[in-house]
Structure 1
Amino acid sequence: MDEIDKRILDILQKDAAVSVTAIADKVGLSTAPCWRRIKRFEDDGVILRRVALLDRRKVNLPMTVFVSVKAPRHAAEWLQTFREMIIDIPEIVEAWRLTGEADYLLRIVVPDVETYDAVYQRMIRRVEFFDISSAIAMEEMKFTTAVPTSYIKIS
C-alpha cells in the first residue's frame, strides 16, 4: 500500500461512482494500473462493497434512536435469538456488542416515535431483555461512512 493507494481509497470513500478514468487522473496514473489497484482492493477485501447512501429524510426516516440493551444472561442461546432478531428487523441498521454498562448498542431509523414504539414491541416479543434504554437523536452532528486512511501502513 502506498500514498497513491490511500488517495484512491479516499476518493472512492467519498463517491464510489467516480469513474476509474477520473480517479486515475486525480492520482496521476493511467487507467489500467488504477483499475488494477482498485481490483486488488476488492480481491483483498479492503473494499467490502460499494453502496448508495440514501438521504434518510427524503425516504421518510428522519428519526434516529440509539438503544442500549442489557442482556438478562450471557448465554449462546440468548445471543443467537438476539442476532436473529436484529437481522430480521430492517429498522435496526447497526448493532454493536460493547464493554461497560450496556451489553449492546443498536441504531434504529424510523419515521416517528410511534413507529419506534412498534419496533420496540416487536423486539420485546421476540427476545427477553434485562433492560432497554432508548435515546432519540436530536441533531446529526457528524455522519460518515469513510474511515481515515492515515493509519494504513505503507509498504
Structure 2
Amino acid sequence: MSVRIDEMDRNILAELQRDASQSLDEIARAVGSSKTPVWNRIRKLREGGVIGQHTVVLDAEALGFEACFFVLIRTSEHEADWQNRFLEALRARPEVQEAHRLAGEIDYILKVRVKNARAYDVFYQALISEVRIYNVTALLSMEEIKSTTMLPLQGR
C-alpha cells in the first residue's frame, strides 16, 4: 500500500519521533490540528507501513552495556546457504543491534553492544563457531557522538 504523505503527516511523524508517548491532544496541539484528524492520519500511516514498531530507547551504559563494537566482516563465501546460516546467527544474537550488507571490500558491518571486551569475545567465538568467516575486524567505539533513530522529515 502506497501512502501519500503531506506536510501535516510529516509534522505528526516528527512529533511521534520526538516523543511517541505524547497524548493525541498534545500531538494535535503541536501540529495545529484537532484530535480526530490526527488519529485518522496516524491510523493511515500505520496501515500504510510508514509507522512501525513502537519501542522505548534505553540508556545502554546505565544498564551496564558499556562497550559498543563495530564489526567489519569479510567472507569468501557468497552462497545462499552460507548467507542464510549467517543471517540466522545474527538474528539469534541480541548483542547485534544493527547489521548491514555493504558494497565494497567489506561484506557486512555489525553494531554489537556488550558489557565489556570479554563479552565481545564470547559473542565473537560463538559467531565463528556457527559460520565460517574469512576476516573479522572489531572496532571499539571510544565515544558515541551522535545516535538517533529520527529521520530528517522537515524541509523535504
Using structure 1 for the length normalisation, give the TM-score: 0.95
Pick aligned residue for 1:20 from 10, 24, 31: 24
Do residues 142 (structure 1) and 139 (structure 2) align?
Answer: no
Structure number with the bigger relative contact order (C-alpha 8 A, sep ≥ 6) is 1
Aligned residues: 152
Do residues 52 (structure 1) and 56 (structure 2) align?
Answer: yes
1:3 alignment partner in structure 2:
7
SS at match of 2:148: coil
User: Aligned partners of 2:40, 2:58: CA distance in 1, in Å?
Assistant: 29
1:65 alignment partner in structure 2:
69
SS at match of 1:73: coil
SS at match of 1:37: helix
User: Aligned partners of 1:108, 1:83: CA distance in 2, in Å?
Assistant: 15
User: Aligned partners of 2:93, 2:50: CA distance in 1, in Å?
Assistant: 28
1:74 alignment partner in structure 2:
78
Report the RMSD for the aligned CA atoms in angstroms. Answer: 1.1
Residues 81-96 of structure 1 mapped to structure 2, 5 A cutoff: 81-96=85-100
Alpha-carbon displacement from aligned partner over 1:23-80 (angstroms, at most 9, x marks no partner):
0011111101111011111000000111101000111112110000011211001000
SS at match of 1:141: coil
Which portions of structure 1, spanning 4 or more consecutive aligned residues, are displaced by more than 3 angstroms?
none
1:125 alignment partner in structure 2:
129
User: Aligned partners of 1:151, 1:76: CA distance in 2, in Å?
Assistant: 41
Pick aligned residue for 1:101 from 93, 105, 115: 105
User: Aligned partners of 1:19, 1:54: CA distance in 2, in Å?
Assistant: 21
SS at match of 1:58: helix
Amino acid at match of 1:137: S
User: Aligned partners of 1:76, 1:3: CA distance in 2, in Å?
Assistant: 42
Structure 1 residue runs without a partner (length 5+): none
User: Aligned partners of 2:113, 2:155: CA distance in 1, in Å?
Assistant: 31
Do residues 29 (structure 1) and 33 (structure 2) align?
Answer: yes
Amino acid at match of 1:70: R
User: Aligned partners of 2:72, 2:138: CA distance in 1, in Å?
Assistant: 6
User: Aligned partners of 2:84, 2:75: CA distance in 1, in Å?
Assistant: 12
Relative to structure 2, which stretch is displaced further, 18-27 or 1-10? 1-10
Pick aligned residue for 1:38 from 42, 55, 66: 42
SS at match of 1:93: strand
User: Aligned partners of 1:62, 1:33: CA distance in 2, in Å?
Assistant: 43
Structure 2 residue runs without a partner (length 5+): none
